[in-house]
Amino acid sequence: MSNDHSAAHGGSSHGNATSYIIGFVLAVILTAAAFIVVMGHSLSPSATLMAITVLAAIQVVVHLIFFLHMSTTAEQAWDNKVFLFTLGFVAIFFVGTMFIMDNTAAHMMSR
Amino acid sequence: MAHDTTLSDAHAEHEHHELPTVFGFWVYLMTDCIIFGSLFAVFAVLRNQYAGGPTGKELFEISGLALETALLLISSITYGFGMIAAHKGQIKSVQMWLAVTFLLGLGFVFLEVREFAHMIADGAGPDRSAFLSAFFTLVSTHGLHVSCGLIWLVVMIIQLSGVSAINERMMNKLTMLSLFWHFLDIVWICVFTYVYLASMI
């Protein structure tokens, strides 16, 4: 039924209840894990930061797949191209900003 | 440009292409992604510039953060159920799920505004330090987006009450709001991880 509908619309794929629930359960587990890691104080500060970074990255992917329904199908090829371009763009200016501002701070002895 | 829709509709019968309106909205979301990326970069640069003022560790409360996160996460799945109902053509059910999503989002905005009000009353407003300027800019930009989403939800609930069936145009609007709402949840993942939790370590 849902396949027929999406074909009739020729449009974006959409999830069913199962995929939303799977995504939601994964998101809750990942969020809770991040809070527990920080509140538990069982890891060193740098290990904690690394752990929550990994958990956040996984959760972003979970949301993209289960909630925004991103996929590698042909109909979404352009969405994915724009997405990857944006990801690269943000990565370049984020890393570049950090590099330049760290360097500036080091030279000006401001921290 | 006006002919694009019809062209693509004819085209869609051969292969499945996404509708141009939804693709256009996706491109908008990507530009929004760049806004948030730059605000995160600002925050990352200024996160230790306290100017003798309060640090994140002193200001942030994990219980309030957990509640805000829970509200936004639950509102994601309630919107998802609304989309499922929309694909089945159950208008009343869509309106009900959108209303639930609205209330959860309203709860989130309420908690955030209350947190800001407490911070400003305690002398930890955006003018206190570079860290707090960056914090307020980033978090309130997200809050402003959620508030716009709330207005959009109300508009959709009202528009849906005037129709007898969900046509393609209406479905496009619901799909775009879905993308918008879930996108804001992704931004919130980055906010609670890098702004709040990373400050509490």
Of the pLDDT bands very low, low, confident and very high (cuts 50, 70, 90), residue A29 is: very high
pLDDT of residue B201: 87
pLDDT of residue A14: 65
Q: A38: nearest CA in chain B?
A: B201
* A87 token code pair: 């990801």
For chain A, what is the mean pLDDT?
Answer: 87
pLDDT of residue B17: 54
Chain A nearest CA to B125, separation (Å): 23
Q: Does A78 touch chain B (CB under 8 A)?
A: yes
Q: How far apart are CA B176 and CA A49, in angstroms?
A: 34
pTM across the whole model: 0.88
pLDDT of residue A111: 64
Low-confidence ranges of chain B (pLDDT < 70): 1-18
Q: Is residue B157 classed exposed, middle or buried when 0-12, 13-18 and 19+ CB atoms within 10 A define those classes? A: middle
Q: How far apart are CA B74 and CA B155, in angstroms?
A: 21
CA neighbor of B181 nearest in space, from B20, B25, B5: B25
pLDDT of residue B19: 72
Q: How far apart are CA B26 and CA B183, in angstroms?
A: 10
| Residue among B41, B76, B201 minimizing CB distance to A67 | B76
* B131 token code pair: 């860290």
* pLDDT > 90 in chain A, percent: 71
Q: How far apart are CA B157 and CA B97, in angstroms?
A: 10
pLDDT of residue A42: 86
Cα–Cα distances (Å) from B154 to B96, B157, B179, B188, in that order, read 11, 5, 16, 22
Least confidently predicted of A6-15, A65-74, B24-33, B144-153: A6-15
pLDDT of residue B18: 61
A28-36 mean pLDDT:
96
pLDDT of residue B117: 97
Q: A26: nearest CA in chain B?
A: B73
User: Tokens 């709402």 identify what position?
Assistant: B181
User: Tokens 């716009």 identify what position?
Assistant: B148
Q: Which of A12, A42, A44 to mutate to test the interface with B (most CBs of B within 10 A)?
A: A12
pLDDT of residue A7: 37
pLDDT of residue B138: 98
The residue ranking higher by pLDDT, B8 or A61, is: A61
